[in-house]
């Protein structure tokens, strides 16, 4: 799996990352959602550089000219709920893309030894065929990697894509290792930043907290 960490190079992306991480800024929900959306736009632009293009002739008011146009049939997949503004950022650039919506959430329990374990539950999938298309799965926080693995395998019920990109705002090193072990090598993972630690609740540290709660409020 190819991993691209966009924060390794200075760009406006780092300003957006500062705003979503800072406790002095992030509790403004509208601003938080807007910054997640803007990070989606930055990533969509970066991914667009890797796609397939073909010259297309158009007529301007003065003469004909050729402009390279994307040939890929793109499907954007959002893992509910935190990915909604991130997905919207991608959709602003890939405005003709088809869309997948899938729920994947953690369910906490105890094993027979009394230790906490996490199971990933999916209850909803709305998706077109992804056969032969470019699949972009967006999820702002790549913590353990388990949700992305479950979502990816569920989406494959709709066909085999020609190529796959995964986009996360912040990824943990543990989550990256998990995906490298459990997903095909030809997938590209795009990260806004990579953080070193998962705490005992499997949250990314330093991270930013719970992206879904910061977008839409706390849940029971």
Per-residue pLDDT of 81-139, as tens digits, reads 889 999 999 999 999 999 999 987 666 666 667 666 667 777 889 999 999 999 999 99
Sign of CA dihedral 171, 177, 183, 186: positive
Which positions ≥6 away from 30 have C-beta within 8 Å? none
DSSP 114: S
As a whole number of angstroms, the distance between CA 100 and CA 136 comes to 10
Is residue 176 within 8 A of residue 190, CB to CB? The reply is: no
- Determine the pLDDT at residue 109: 63
The pTM of the full predicted model, rounded to 2 decimals, is: 0.91
Check whether domain 2-50+74-216 has CATH 1.25.40.10, yes or no: no
Q: What is the dihedral of CA 69, 134, 121, 107, to 10 degrees?
A: -60
Is residue 206 within 8 A of residue 72, CB to CB? The reply is: no
- Would you kindly state where each structural domain of the chain is located, as residue ranges? 2-50+74-216
As a whole number of angstroms, the distance between CA 122 and CA 130 comes to 19
CA angle 103, 164, 158 (to 5 degrees): 55
Residue 54 clears pLDDT 70, i.e. is over it: yes
Element at 90 (helix H, strand E): helix 84-93
- Determine the pLDDT at residue 152: 95
Selected residue with higher pLDDT from 70 and 117? 70
């Amino acid at each position: 799996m190819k991993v691209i960490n966009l924060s390794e190079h200075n760009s406006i992306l780092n300003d957006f990352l500062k705003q979503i991480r800072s406790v002095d800024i992030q509790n403004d929900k509208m601003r938080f959602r807007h910054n997640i959306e803007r990070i989606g736009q930055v990533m969509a632009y970066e991914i667009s550089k890797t796609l397939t293009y073909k010259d297309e002739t158009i007529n301007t008011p003065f003469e004909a000219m050729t402009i390279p146009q994307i040939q890929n049939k793109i499907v954007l997949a959002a893992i509910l709920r935190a990915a909604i503004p991130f997905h919207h950022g991608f959709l602003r650039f890939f405005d003709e893309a088809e869309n997948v919506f899938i729920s994947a959430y953690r369910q906490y329990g105890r094993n027979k030894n009394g230790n906490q374990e996490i199971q990933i539950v999916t209850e909803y999938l709305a998706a077109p065929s992804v056969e032969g298309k470019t699949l972009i799965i967006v999820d702002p926080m790549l913590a353990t990697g388990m949700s992305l693995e479950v979502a990816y395998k569920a989406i494959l019920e709709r066909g085999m894509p020609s190529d796959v990109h995964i986009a996360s705002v912040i990824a943990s090193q543990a989550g990256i290792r998990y995906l490298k072990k459990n997903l095909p090598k030809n997938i590209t993972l795009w990260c806004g930043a990579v953080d070193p630690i998962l705490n005992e609740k499997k949250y990314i540290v330093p991270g930013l907290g719970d992206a879904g709660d910061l977008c839409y409020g706390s849940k029971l």
